[in-house]
Amino acid sequence: MRLRHLFGFRQLRTRLAVLYAGLFAVGMLCVAGLLYAVVAHNSKAQVTRELVANGTVYDRLWDQQTSQLRAAAGLLARDFGFRAAVATHDRNTIESALSNLRQRMGLSTAFIVDVNGTVTGLADPRETAQASALSTQLDEGVTAGVAPLGGQAHKIVAAPIMAPALTGWVVFATELDQHEMRGLERLSAIPLSAAVYERRANGSWVGADSATEAPDPAVSHFLEANWHQSQPADIDGPNGLSIALAKPLPAVPGAPPAVLLLQYPMRLALSPYRPLEIAIAVIGIFGLGLVVLATWRMARSITLPISLLDAAAGKLADGQVASVPVSSQDELGRLAATFNRMSADIVEREKRITHLAFSDLLTSLPNRANFNQHLDHQLRLVERRGGHVALLCMDLDNFKAINDTLGHPTGDELLRRIASRLGEELGDIFVARLGGDEFVMVKSYSGDTGTIDELARRALAAVEAPIHIGEHALESKASIGVAIAPADGNNQNTLLRSAELALYKAKEAGRGTYRFFEESMNALAQERRALEVDLRQALNNGELDLHYQPLFHLSADRVGGFEALLRWNHPKRGSIPPVEFIPVAEETGLIVQIGAWVIQEACRQAALWPDHIRVAVNVSSIQFQRPGLSHVVLQALQNSGLKPERLEIEITESIFLERSESTLQLLHTLRGLGVRIALDDFGTGYSSLSYLQSFPFDKIKIDRSFVVALRSRPGAAAIVKAIIDLADALGMETTAEGVEEQSQLAILTRQGATSIQGYLFSKPVPAPDATRLLKSKLKLRAA
Amino acid sequence: MSCARIWTATLLCAWSAAALPAPAYAADLDVQVRGADGAPVRDAVVSVHLAARATPHPHAGGSYVIDQQDIQFHPFVAAVPVGASVTFMNHDPVRHHVYSFSPAKKFELKLASKQQNQSVLFDKPGIVPLGCNIHDRMIAYLDVVDTPWAKTADANGHVVLRDIPAGAITITVWHPYLRAPGNIVSRGAILSEGTAHGEKFAVPMRTPPHDPGTGY
């Protein structure tokens, strides 16, 4: 781990350079090591040979010197006069003869030992004693060797004195001193050092000569180990490695062993090769430098494209567009090309993802998320720089019907065409589709709102121009609500709500138009919310009540039934008209609960009335969409005991706008229970005769607009007659709503309407009043 | 070799005759000399002195000869009585320069080739090594004895001394290569009348200097 960390180079080229330099260095070290080993081995072998040769030379020298001395001693020992002097113990003559010989031979010491150990020629008592002790060895035939004399090793050569029998020995002694060793060193071809050491009885070694220093411990150790054998070996001394040869010198028996030590330091042996070593080191360092330089350069050519790729990949990771130059045809070139392709693909995919995320799939217009971003951005710009942002909410007025009647594909196509047309007509105005038929436009501007008026008109015009889809020529209309930031809201939510409120207003105003948001709209909206809160309480608190408006049966000339109408007596605000709270109930879904209560209550009330009196209950399209309506009806009938045919469910055409199949099924189910079904507000909206064909309604209620029009528009009577005739033909009853005047009654009676409803007869009244009304047996004023 | 023995025999016969007649109460001594290794030691001089009595002076009237032949003395060892005059006879065709530095007798004789008439009187007892100053390898020994009973051992290291008075005696063995002070080993013994007394000596011997002439 640590090692890996150590070699965890940040750069590939450093790694390569270090790797190759390392390999080269290892190679060079191997070569140098091998060379050194060979050189060292050869030098050692050479030195060893030299040492052995020198040892042999020294042997020769020793022998030569021995024989020279022996010859001289022998000469003296055989001299008749000398022998006579020795035999007659003529001390003076003997000493003068020895002195004469010492001078002639250049000897340090010469003396005589007789067979009894008597010494002549030495002055020092210690030397005399040592010389006397020699007689035993000499008597045993030893005539040469190393022996101590006066604290120093001497080479001793003796010759017997025969006079004529053995009477003693002439002994010559030479010191084994530095002088002789230097002479030996000079003889050698290599600069070796020679010294003679003596072994003490306790195993320690001393220089044989007072001038020779005591050997250092390594040498002592070597001598102790090697003094028996004349084999060259290594000494690892304080001055480095040496090769040494210990040559035992022939000692006089009993005398301490002495060795000649020839030494040659390896340092000196290797010194001739020093220039070679330096040359190799220089070549190695120079080569290493070259390798590093070459690797560095080569690595650069390899790693530069990789570094570029690395940098480009980093940029790509940061979300930037990145590409690298393709400079070669090799793997790196292909890698770079592939990288560029991948990079381009990623950018392309990002664009597509962004497009999907921020575009509406159907129309390719910006979607809600995009719109949120854009509006947010514009709002912030306005906040910083001033000016205005206009938000236009547009809604197609009749899209649902088109979708239902012509099918979704047509509806989708319509939306696409409108979207593209908006794009064409409005130029660079930001247009988004929020969903369904809901479009928004955002425009930043300064100055007055004239440009926005113009924009709204252009947008409406773009929608209104006929659109041909297949064989249909569709004429759409749209409503637009406009809200201006920052006046109508300085954040998205507020501004959007304001625009939507304005849109409601525009729709209320009759569609196909646009409205600017006004503060009052907001107040209305708040009121509406308050209403919603209160409405949730109303049912539980018994604030809801049913009023009943009689339906007068013209041919029977009596009240044939009542339409139950919901009233809300708000504890604070008093009576609230249905037109205000029913939409709220529908939006919030409260209509389901409320509607169920209405059915229950109406049935309960109707059960109290005579058998011929029916009760009509309005059922919202929301109730049809939710499950359980048939159950509610059945429950109400069972609870109240009301005969089913006395209950009349009033529906509007709007229930067919959604899920007409299931709606029809539900209608048939209700009809199966025996309940009557009436089609309310007939003739308004998208009244289609196909409805009449699809379900056999029991009654058609002619919309009040036609009844009102009877007074003013000449054609109205014809329409009413047509409806009544149509209903007759289909076996359906008719009820005319909103009859307020006798003239209307006259026409309706003449045309054959089954019943009438309206203020002319009675306004909606509470249940007790309705019951009284039945008892009073009121007649129509006209009658 | 045979020559050496002849000359020795001549010398001994002359000496024995001079010592006669022997007393009736005498006894004989038979001495066997061997080395430490058991080898017989020839040329060892065995001599007897009387203990607690005066040893009689030997009779020195005989003639004693040391020959020089083939660059060698003959015999190698000889025992002669004090006062004996020994004649040195040169049989070689070369000159000899006979000498001795011994305390018992110091002398020099320059002998010309074939010269046979030089005599030396040995008037003191002791060992007299004889050498030739010209020929180093020539060496011989004279044991000048002051007793009538002395003789060199034969090739078997055997010596018989006769007519020694019974009683205590000292037997001395000398040989130039005997390893002992003065090259001498001595021993006491008691001789009984009319009997032959036997003595065996085992003596340490030095390795002789290599000299083919002496046979050692």
**Which positions in chain B touch A165 (Cβ < 8 Å)?**
129, 131, 139, 141, 176
Report pLDDT for B5: 37
**Which positions in chain A touch B133 (Cβ < 8 Å)?**
80
In chain A, what percentage of residues exceed pLDDT 70?
A: 96
When pLDDT is cut at 50, 70 and 90, the band that residue A688 belongs to is low
The yes-or-no verdict on residue B211 having pLDDT over 60 is: no
Task: Check CB contact under 8 Å for A165 and B101.
Answer: no
| Whether the bond into B75 is cis, omega within 30 of 0 | yes
CB atoms within 10 A of CB A731: 9
Task: Check CB contact under 8 Å for B101 and A88.
Answer: yes
Task: Check CB contact under 8 Å for A164 and B207.
Answer: no
- Which residue of A lies nearest to B134 if distances are taken between CA atoms? A80
The yes-or-no verdict on residue A641 having pLDDT over 60 is: yes
Report pLDDT for A137: 83
**Which positions in chain B touch A164 (Cβ < 8 Å)?**
99-100, 129-132, 136, 138-139
With b for 16 or more beta-carbon neighbours within 10 A and e for fewer, the A690-725 pattern comes to ebbeebebbbbbbbbebbbbbeeeeebbeebbebbe
> How confident is the model over A471-484, as pLDDT tens digits?
888 888 899 999 98
Name residues 405-444 of chain A within 8 A of B (Cβ). Answer: none
- Which of B101, B130, B141 shows the shortest C-beta gap to A84? B101
Domains and CATH numbers, chain B: 22-56+148-204 (2.60.40.1120), 57-146 (2.60.40.420)
**Which positions in chain B touch A135 (Cβ < 8 Å)?**
none
Report residue A776: phi and psi, to 5°: -70, -10
* Interface predicted TM-score (ipTM) of this complex, two decimals: 0.73
Name A126's Cβ contacts closer than 8 Å, sequence gap at least 6. A150, A151
In chain A, what percentage of residues exceed pLDDT 90?
A: 18
Please give the C-alpha separations between residue A238 and each of A216, A235, A241, A250, A265, in angstroms, as whole numbers. 8, 9, 8, 30, 11
Pairwise CA distance, residues A537 & A543, whole Å: 8
> How confident is the model over A553-589, as pLDDT tens digits?
998 888 999 999 999 998 888 888 888 888 888 878 8
The yes-or-no verdict on residue B10 having pLDDT over 60 is: no
**Long-range contacts at A402-408 (CB < 8 A, ≥ 24 apart):** A402/A474, A402/A476, A404/A656, A404/A657, A404/A658, A404/A660, A406/A469, A406/A472, A406/A474
The yes-or-no verdict on residue A436 having pLDDT over 50 is: yes
Query: End-to-end distance of chain A based on CA atoms, in angstroms?
Result: 113
> How confident is the model over A311-367, as pLDDT tens digits?
888 888 887 777 778 777 888 788 888 888 888 888 888 888 888 888 888 888 888
CB half-sphere exposure, A145, CA atoms < 13 A: 17
**Which positions in chain B touch A162 (Cβ < 8 Å)?**
131, 136, 139, 209
Name residues 123-162 of chain A within 8 A of B (Cβ). Answer: 139, 141, 162
Complete edge-to-edge strand list for the sheet that includes strand A205-207: A205-207, A193-199, A258-265, A240-249, A233-237
The neighbouring-strand residues paired with A567 are: A545
Chain A: nearest CA to B24, how far in angstroms?
A: 41
Work out the average pLDDT over A23-49.
86
Please give the C-alpha separations between residue A7 and each of A2, A17, A290, A302, A778, in angstroms, as whole numbers. 9, 12, 22, 20, 112
CB atoms within 10 A of CB A426: 17
Q: How many CB pairs under 8 A join A and B?
A: 33
Task: Check CB contact under 8 Å for B141 and A141.
Answer: no
The yes-or-no verdict on residue A460 having pLDDT over 70 is: yes
- What three-state secondary structure class fits B214? helix
Task: Check CB contact under 8 Å for B131 and A166.
Answer: no
- Which residue of A lies nearest to B101 if distances are taken between CA atoms? A87
Residue B214's nearest CA partner among B141, B133, B112, B111 is B141
**Which positions in chain A touch B176 (Cβ < 8 Å)?**
165
Report pLDDT for B216: 52
CB of A419 closer than 8 Å to CB of A439:
yes
When pLDDT is cut at 50, 70 and 90, the band that residue A211 belongs to is low
The yes-or-no verdict on residue B9 having pLDDT over 60 is: no
Name A348's Cβ contacts closer than 8 Å, sequence gap at least 6. none
Task: Check CB contact under 8 Å for A78 and B136.
Answer: yes
Pairwise CA distance, residues A86 & A554, whole Å: 200
Chain B: nearest CA to A163, how far in angstroms?
A: 7
Pairwise CA distance, residues B10 & B164, whole Å: 22
**Which positions in chain A touch B139 (Cβ < 8 Å)?**
162, 164-165
Task: Check CB contact under 8 Å for A80 and B133.
Answer: yes
Task: Check CB contact under 8 Å for A88 and B102.
Answer: no
Give chain A's mean pLDDT. 85
Report pLDDT for B152: 93
Report pLDDT for A134: 85
Pairwise CA distance, residues A732 & A678, whole Å: 9
Residue A507's nearest CA partner among A396, A584, A598, A432 is A396
With b for 16 or more beta-carbon neighbours within 10 A and e for fewer, the B2-21 pattern comes to eebeebbeebbeebeeebee
Query: End-to-end distance of chain B based on CA atoms, in angstroms?
Result: 12
Report pLDDT for A5: 55
CB atoms within 10 A of CB A318: 8
- Which residue of A lies nearest to B209 if distances are taken between CA atoms? A166
Work out the average pLDDT over A679-692.
76
**Which positions in chain B touch A115 (Cβ < 8 Å)?**
none
As a 3-state breakdown, chain A gives helix, strand, coil percent values, each rounded to 5, of: 55, 20, 25
Task: Check CB contact under 8 Å for B101 and A141.
Answer: no
Among A215-219, A708-712, B155-159, which is the least confidently predicted range? A215-219
The yes-or-no verdict on residue B69 having pLDDT over 70 is: yes
In chain B, what percentage of residues exceed pLDDT 90?
A: 45
Pairwise CA distance, residues A508 & A580, whole Å: 13
